[in-house]
Structure 1
Amino acid sequence: MRKGKPIYVETVIEADMETLWRHTQTPGLHEQWDLRFSEIAYLPKAPEARVQAFRYATHIGFGLNIGGTGRAAAAKEGQDGSRVSALRFASDDPRSLIRSGAGYWRYVPLPDGKLAFATRYDYDTRFGALGRLFDRAVFRPLFGWATAWSFDALKLWLERGIAPALSLRQTLTHALSVLALASCWIYEGLAPKMLHPASGELALMQAAGWFPGREEQALFALGAAELLIGAAVVRWHRRGWTFGAQAILLILLTAAGAAAQPSLMNAPFGPLTLALPMLALSGIAAGTAAGLPRAGNCRRKPATPERRGGNRDAVHL
């Protein structure tokens, strides 16, 4: 089985060359915005040496780290002020899927004063055909996404002053609130309405008297609608109207339940005790939706075709 295509990510950043260079070539700054690395450290070198050795580590959870080493070449500067740096990396850790690889970073000044910042890299894997299969199906797409997300986080940092740590916390808060909110909608639509209507939802629908003789069909349709709302919350989680619209629906459903059976409002686990936390989750999700890094903001293919290892503006690995 052939390995996957090289990973390419490009973004445009409104910053000067030295600022972008410092934030990408200084280990203490680089490790703040790049999801792929938890720690980066330069190793000692002679002042006149062209190649800089470094070591890196990635925390994978449960106190485990996967580390490796690399060598970064000195930058090449073009007549237009562009810069390119190349690196090779490898890991002797038997747990690491990546055995060795290489890539480059390219910095190109644009006519409008902004900078095009791009990377292209590729690597060889461990674990034979199984490792290549896992890489193509799971790891490489995820690694590419992490690279693009990190580039957009760097863009937000340099352009809007949003620290990467804050971007990451906001992203996690938003993701957890969206998933929790969607899970509530899906569960409420599926379990008590579509799978187990006799648990109380059908009796509530019958007590309302809105669909005489068709309560089961109406309840099933309501459950299906709630499933769609849960899916919509995930699909359009970056749109503010998503949470406003579903908050209105929550209030209407709660009011309808109270009108049909007022005693439910005093129940330990009644509509109100469900609606209030869901409204709170809606507020959290809506409040964290703006200003999030987004991998989709980056270009994932070069504007011009590249030969293996780069194009005429890059470097050959």
Structure 2
Amino acid sequence: MGNRGIYVETLIDAPLDRVWDATQDPAQHVRWDVRFSAIVPTPADDDGVMRFTYVRRSVVHDVHGTGVSLGERRRPDGTRTSALRFATGDRLSPIRTGRGYWRYVPTADGRTRFITGYDYDPGWGVLDLLVRPLLGWATAWSFDRLRIWLEGGPEPEAWPLPTVLQVWRPDRPRASRTLRAPVGGSRRDDHLRDAPPTVAALPEPGGPS
């Protein structure tokens, strides 16, 4: 994995518990995150590690993969994190293996900073120069879709991916409303540099825990 990891951050006017539930529940996750069409989890083990399978459907091809995640409900500073590793053997997938994290940071006024940083091994070689910006945009667009929903707006399903035929509306999700790099950083930074230790400690997807 290189040092051009994807970073997205948004500020949601909702308590941390609400953001946690909407993102940690697989049935809720796929409603707002366009990167996944289905996530099927298995019961977590004694250490809280959960394995799952996932599907990303498209009109051309469905990509199937496996993953493993671990969520930390409480940290001394009031934040929470969730670590993830995922992989697929599908030769048509633009991603082979990846890892990343979600960070939840409560603010003094009751809002939640929701952050992700992740990187992956590309499956399409040099074409990753096109794929990576699109994945970054899809992540950011999904984060704004989530924000609108949790702040009392329409359900996520009200906002399918935009097309060139749609009329622009100010209330639609927009990737440009999110931060694409940490304050003081750049998009080319290693966005796993400050990842929680659980990212490195997670077992391989699909393998024994």
TM-score, normalized by length of structure 1?
A: 0.58
Q: Is 2:179 the partner of 1:299?
A: yes
Task: State the match for 2:38 in structure 1.
Answer: 39
Matched to 2:115, the amino acid is A
Aligned ranges for residues 194-209 of structure 1 at < 5 Å? none
Mapped to 2, the partners of 1:72 and 1:57 lie a distance apart of 16
Mapped to 1, the partners of 2:132 and 2:40 lie a distance apart of 24
Mapped to 2, the partners of 1:158 and 1:99 lie a distance apart of 32
Report deviation, 1:125.
1.9
3-state SS of paired residue (2:145): helix
Quick one: which of 52, 56, 61 aligns to 2:50? 52
The answer for unaligned runs of 5 or more in structure 2 is 201-209
Mapped to 1, the partners of 2:106 and 2:113 lie a distance apart of 6
Quick one: which of 135, 138, 145 aligns to 2:128? 135
Larger relative contact order, structure 1 or 2 (CA cutoff 8 Å, min sep 6): 2
Mapped to 2, the partners of 1:308 and 1:301 lie a distance apart of 8
Q: Is 2:82 the partner of 1:85?
A: yes
Q: Is 2:9 the partner of 1:10?
A: yes
Mapped to 1, the partners of 2:183 and 2:145 lie a distance apart of 22
Report deviation, 1:15.
0.7
Identity across matched positions, percent: 40
Task: State the match for 2:59 in structure 1.
Answer: 61
Mapped to 2, the partners of 1:72 and 1:96 lie a distance apart of 21
Quick one: which of 265, 280, 289 aligns to 2:169? 289
Mapped to 2, the partners of 1:302 and 1:314 lie a distance apart of 16
Task: State the match for 2:72 in structure 1.
Answer: 75
Q: Report the more deviating stretch, 87-96 or 27-36.
A: 87-96
Quick one: which of 91, 96, 99 aligns to 1:99? 96
Which of the pair is proportionally richer in helix? 1
Matched to 2:176, the amino acid is G
Report deviation, 1:95.
1.4
3-state SS of paired residue (2:150): helix
Mapped to 2, the partners of 1:307 and 1:295 lie a distance apart of 21
Task: State the match for 2:205 in structure 1.
Answer: none
Aligned ranges for residues 246-261 of structure 1 at < 5 Å? none
Q: Report the more deviating stretch, 288-297 or 143-152.
A: 288-297
Report deviation, 1:17.
1.3
Report deviation, 1:76.
5.5
Which of the pair is proportionally richer in strand? 2
Checking the alignment, whether the CA contact within 8 Å between 2:78 and 2:105 is kept in structure 1 is: yes
Task: State the match for 1:30 in structure 2.
Answer: 29
Mapped to 2, the partners of 1:72 and 1:3 lie a distance apart of 22
CA offsets 1:159-180 (integer angstroms, 9 cap, x no match):
02311110227x44xx314xxx
The answer for unaligned runs of 5 or more in structure 1 is 178-284
3-state SS of paired residue (2:52): strand
Report deviation, 1:4.
6.2
Checking the alignment, whether the CA contact within 8 Å between 1:4 and 1:135 is kept in structure 2 is: no
Larger Rg: 1
Mapped to 2, the partners of 1:43 and 1:57 lie a distance apart of 15
3-state SS of paired residue (1:160): coil
Mapped to 1, the partners of 2:182 and 2:125 lie a distance apart of 24
Report deviation, 1:80.
2.7
Report deviation, 1:79.
2.2
Q: Is 2:190 the partner of 1:310?
A: no
Checking the alignment, whether the CA contact within 8 Å between 1:3 and 1:132 is kept in structure 2 is: no
Alignment RMSD: 2.1
Mapped to 2, the partners of 1:307 and 1:76 lie a distance apart of 25
Checking the alignment, whether the CA contact within 8 Å between 1:4 and 1:140 is kept in structure 2 is: no
CA offsets 1:120-144 (integer angstroms, 9 cap, x no match):
0000123xxxx332112x1000000
Report deviation, 1:34.
0.3
Q: Is 2:103 the partner of 1:110?
A: no
Checking the alignment, whether the CA contact within 8 Å between 2:10 and 2:178 is kept in structure 1 is: yes
Mapped to 2, the partners of 1:120 and 1:154 lie a distance apart of 17
Aligned ranges for residues 185-196 of structure 1 at < 5 Å? none
Aligned residue-pair number: 196
